[in-house]
Structure 1
Amino acid sequence: MTVSTIAIRPLWLRVLQFPPTRIVLLGGIIFYMMAVNNGFMEDFKATPVVAIAITIGMGGLAMAIYAGWGRFIERREVTELSLPGMGREWATGALIGAGLFASCAMILMMLGMYRIEGLNPLSFLIPAVAMALSSGIFEELFFRGVVFRSVEDLFGSWISLVVSSLVFGFIHLLNPGGTIEGAIYISIEAGLLLAAAYLLTRRLWMSIGFHMAWNYTQSAIFSGVVSGGVTLPGLIRDVIEGPELLTGGSFGLESSVIALVLCTTAGVILLMIAVRRGHILPPPWKR
């Protein structure tokens, strides 16, 4: 049945179903939409509610395009975006993301490197919402939904874990404050953790929740620099002083040993659970 079905599929469809084509076309569409949305966020940064509304609309459209590609081009059920269990998985990822960043900040406080000088009005919590939504939706659709799945189809989960993590980390060199050290740290700590969240559930909601919550907590609450890019004043007025090895310097806390240890440990734990659940896909020659 399967062989016959594949044999009668037209050539154009088989080309579109080829994983590298998925990366170029579907990935290109999502990446372009992310860039356009980032432009809108910059244009409407003085009116953050408008930026949030645009990001929700653009993010919903990106999800619809992703789901449509899976349904009509790949001819499969797009389980990674199915709604049952979405809230639970998103909330779990969000708790992990917010908890890990808060733990990093508390360690810096205990070391005397993070000092709170006061609080800003609650309205300072609003501007970072659009940024968190954008990074959580677009980046997870692209890096885990497109890149990870495509490389996994070709070479299996382990190689895909390495490749997608490196691509995810080094794409941050495009940020104004991007550094090689920051890119390497993100590849290890965040690339592993986010891919492990996907492997654990074989769905995107947990990684989306983590990504949103980490970035939002870092920017909106702790007023931190997000991956060498976003620098918005948040709720807490703080002063961070200490060696870049521990504070992350101008790149942000992702480039610190503290985040590297905590996030990598969490990622390894999730990955071990995913392995026990049998969610690791071997390469095609071993299937």
Structure 2
Amino acid sequence: MKKKMSKSKGMLQNGRNLSARSSFWRFPIVWMIVGAIGIVLIDTLFRQLTERVDGVISLIFTLVMGFLAILVYKLTLTYLAQRSTPEISRQRAGIEAILGVLTGAIFITGSVFIIIALGGYSFQWASSANTSSVLVSIVGSALGAAIVEELIFRGLMFQAIDKLGGKLLALAVTSLFFGVAHLGNTGATIYSAFAIALEAGVLLGAAFLWRRSLWFAMGLHFAWNAIEGLLGIPVSGHSASGLFNVKVNGAVLLTGGDFGLEGSIVPVVLSLLISIPMLIWTARNRGAAVGNLPVSK
């Protein structure tokens, strides 16, 4: 009898230990950190590889990196957070990515044209540029950044904070962190970080809430960086050797100065004009959309 009681107590204790471990790994901050570390490690490894090769091979490495980063994200959410991942579903992935690219293209080209009209930018074709080389380099760089940053910020962080405190808190926290993450870039200031928090953090967060798709957010992010790079405009302080040489004139508040378009007031205003309708639509359709939103179990 004593042996049976001892065995039962041991089984109960083991069950409690397993339950405690399961609860630990399912805690949002834990799986957010684990997933982010995995994605950053993959990104770091493949960045070193792409720096050693040129042309199409570097683009292939970027695509492999993106695939592995998405796989790490899916495994993290499936086995640690223990929930499904409709936000990266292959169904409608193509159309969502294309819609995101179109939205990002309209946003960035609109911002650039306004600054041109106000005398802030002028462009001249870079005759010495190797078109194919520039395209491959900028597309690869923009694609890698879009995949990694969206998986971490809108994928892991947004949904972890959402689980803990709701969508508004998630939007505020991810936007703030997204701005702070760019403080180390060349030419960054407190204002540029604030501008990025509003124009990128809020816009990409609103886009994710609106479409409930990381493909859409990645497409928007990709078009943003790629178009800036192709135009030769610095991307958040990172100089770009694009297809054009850009001449900057006037106040930094208009042009963004050495930091690039993200430091301009123009995309800040335009991004809010795009984000607010997205957030209003999301709020009005919250009841109908709850079943489609990524929800941690």
Unaligned residue ranges in structure 1 (runs of 5+): 1-5, 282-287
The CA RMSD measured in Å over matched residues stands at 2.0
Task: Give me the whole-angstrom Cα distance separating, in 2, the residues matched to 1:9 and 1:202.
Answer: 33
**CA shift in 2, pair 1:59/1:246, >3 Å:** same
Mean alpha-carbon deviation: is it higher for 65-74 or for 240-249? 65-74
- Shift of the alpha carbon at 1:95? 0.6
State which of 262, 266, 270 in structure 2 corresponds to 1:262: 270
Match of 2:165 in 1: 155
Task: Give me the whole-angstrom Cα distance separating, in 1, the residues matched to 2:252 and 2:290.
Answer: 36
Task: Give me the whole-angstrom Cα distance separating, in 2, the residues matched to 1:280 and 1:248.
Answer: 39
TM-score, normalisation: structure 1: 0.89
Q: Which has the larger radius of gyration?
A: 2
8 Å CA contact 1:274–1:280 kept in 2: the answer is no
- Shift of the alpha carbon at 1:13? 2.0
**CA shift in 2, pair 1:41/1:179, >3 Å:** farther
SS at match of 1:239: strand
State which of 239, 252, 255 in structure 2 corresponds to 1:244: 252
Match of 1:3 in 2: none
Task: Give me the whole-angstrom Cα distance separating, in 1, the residues matched to 2:204 and 2:55.
Answer: 27
1:139-184 Cα distance to aligned partner (Å, 9 max, x none): 0000011100001100000111100100011101122333222111
Mean alpha-carbon deviation: is it higher for 270-279 or for 141-150? 270-279
- Shift of the alpha carbon at 1:280? 7.7
8 Å CA contact 2:42–2:68 kept in 1: the answer is no
State which of 128, 131, 135 in structure 1 corresponds to 2:145: 135
Task: Give me the whole-angstrom Cα distance separating, in 1, the residues matched to 2:246 and 2:186.
Answer: 22
Match of 1:165 in 2: 175
Match of 1:105 in 2: 112
8 Å CA contact 2:171–2:202 kept in 1: the answer is yes
Unaligned residue ranges in structure 2 (runs of 5+): 1-14, 292-297
- Shift of the alpha carbon at 1:191? 0.5
Mean alpha-carbon deviation: is it higher for 27-36 or for 268-277? 27-36
Match of 2:62 in 1: 55
Hey, which bits of structure 1, 4+ residues long, moved more than 4 A? 6-9
Residues 1-287 of structure 1 mapped to structure 2, 5 A cutoff? 10-44=19-53, 47-120=54-127, 121-123=130-132, 124-220=134-230, 222-229=231-238, 231-278=239-286
SS at match of 2:182: helix
TM-score, normalisation: structure 2: 0.86
What amino acid is the match of 2:271? C
SS at match of 1:174: coil
8 Å CA contact 2:98–2:219 kept in 1: the answer is yes
8 Å CA contact 1:182–1:254 kept in 2: the answer is yes
**CA shift in 2, pair 1:9/1:77, >3 Å:** farther
1:180-231 Cα distance to aligned partner (Å, 9 max, x none): 22111000111011001111122211100000000000002x11100112x2
Task: Give me the whole-angstrom Cα distance separating, in 1, the residues matched to 2:45 and 2:280.
Answer: 37
Task: Give me the whole-angstrom Cα distance separating, in 2, the residues matched to 1:20 and 1:109.
Answer: 44
Task: Give me the whole-angstrom Cα distance separating, in 2, the residues matched to 1:74 and 1:136.
Answer: 23
8 Å CA contact 1:157–1:280 kept in 2: the answer is no
Aligned length: 272
